Amino acid sequence: MSRPRHSTTMHGFDFEQAEEAYDYIVVGAGTAGSVIAARLTEDGRTRVLLLEAGSATALPEMATPGIWPLLLGTTADWGDSTVEQTFLGAPLYAPRGKALGGSSSINGLNFLRGHRSSYDAWVAQGATGWGFDDLLPDFRRSETTVGRDETLRGTDGPLLIGVTPEPSPVVMAALDAATEVGYRTAEDISSGAETGFGLSDANVHDGRRMSAADAYLRPVAGRANLTIVTDVTVRRLTINDGMCTGVEYGTPTSSTAATALREVVLTAGAIGSAQLLMLSGVGPAEHLTELGIEVELDLPGVGANLHDHPLATIVFEHASPVPGNPENIYGQGVGLVHTRAGLDGPDLQILLISQPYRSPSLPGPGPDGGYAIAFSAMLPHSRGTVRLASRNHLVAPLIDPNYLGEVGDQQVMLAGLRIAREIGAADALTPWRGAEAQPGRPLDSEDAELDYLRESLVVYFHYAGTCRMGSDDLAVVDPELRVRGISRLRVADASVMPSPVSGNTNATVFAIAERAARLITA
């Protein structure tokens, strides 16, 4: 598979043809890329090139669950912001991982599937074979759990999953408070089969984060058939006559062309995969033409259907000191609830947080001086877009999740605010509850509540949907994850989700990637 090396100069940088061709090129070493590269190279005859924009070296802060917010804005974060959000009248900071392991290396570590109903909704949208029961073997394949229902949970996967061994007494009191106001207690709220409240699973082992890179990639990085190249960005896909044959990647001053003999697999996430398709001429023709990009395929669904879970919190000061534990995650308790009758599944998540987590723009207690109750619309109807700001791959894309753009989503968040305050005021929390720091004032009208949502809204960074799976004209990939109209090209990350799942998306991406690896090698 050797190829001769030659050099030339193009567009002001050195351009170098790769010496080697690979069976598969995987673009992005985040959660999905780590899983797929590891699984594909289990066959020693299969050569894989894995490309990542971030560094090969993990930042020291990644290991400690209780300091994850310190990772935002570092070199392990793309450092994006959204465009101005109509509901807010302002942009929001929009973190996403730029490291081996991607966002699993910088996120808050909740490992939750959500409820099975949100996966079964995918099938109704044309994602045949992607219901919860279909995906369950891949969820199980990714994880090792102990003492759970083994028909639902994995026992021998690479990722070690479990609840916080010694949870905060405030979180335990908040779980009692949820029961006090009428919500059921779940045995395994992370399983996908229950509603109610319980302790959240986390990808933490022996007090340390276990990212996708830690679980899947680093243990196999020495395989002779796996080549990992970091600190490079992919400029474009090489597409000839409707066939993807490789990629061009490199640094700001040099570029390399690599050939994929079988397939290219995009695992750059809901922002990055859509961006790269458009840079390569695959996307809405009118948008690409406006930027001077030659259209390889008019695929209008690329970059559409962007969705994320909007998140806001209320915050309390501690009545008495509560020792923190840096080995613990923030959101140790979680609830899945229905905000109205007639829903197929829960549409609201309540997260019980041991720290006073809130929008950076709001005042409040220091890290050890309070706690928070978060609420998030899990099945938002608001949809946004990812679009290119420039044909230059180094220019950040335009990210518009359209948070709370639909009135119905606003109503779910208002219900969440009221439920969070009800739980926060319950007797079970009396020993721990000091002053309410946020909102810290009466909210005596819906307008006042909406104003608080505008103040407190933050990005949950569960971006998904921009390369939607399905069979209609706006679908980008088919149920085999193959890009419609381009051969030898797949997308296998959160961007393929047709609609939101009612949980933090990282667990779902592990399962999508496990499923993708099986589809690729079938």
Rounded CA-CA distance 115/124 in Å is 16
Burial 375-389 (b: 16+ CB within 10 A, else e): bbbbbbebbbbbbbe
Cβ within 8 Å of residue 393, ≥6 positions away? 233, 234, 235, 236, 275, 276, 279
- Residue 385, phi then psi, degrees to nearest 5: -145, 160
Cβ within 8 Å of residue 469, ≥6 positions away? 122, 126, 127, 130, 475, 476, 477, 478, 479, 481, 496, 497, 498
Rounded CA-CA distance 381/111 in Å is 23
Amino acid letter, residue 152: L
Angle at which helices 116-124 and 132-142 pack, to 10 degrees? 130
Angle at which helices 169-180 and 407-424 pack, to 10 degrees? 110
Listing DSSP states for 225-262 in one string gives TEEEE-S-EEEEEEEETTEEEEEEEE-SSEEEEEEEEE
DSSP H helical segments within 369-469, as ranges?
407-424, 446-456
CA 24-27-28 angle, to 5 degrees, is 135
Q: Write down the catalytic residue from 115, 307, 309, 462.
A: 462
Rounded CA-CA distance 381/385 in Å is 13
CA distances from 426 to 177, 338, 420 (A): 5, 20, 10
Q: Nearest-CA neighbor of 469 among 162, 125, 159, 181?
A: 125
Rounded CA-CA distance 475/467 in Å is 7
Active-site residue flag, 381: no
Q: Nearest-CA neighbor of 394 among 229, 235, 231?
A: 235
> Counting Cβ atoms within 10 Å, is residue 241 exposed (0-12), middle (13-18) or buried (19+)?
exposed
CA distances from 355 to 53, 112, 372, 458 (A): 32, 20, 6, 16
Radius of gyration of the chain (CA): 22
| Catalytic machinery residues | 462
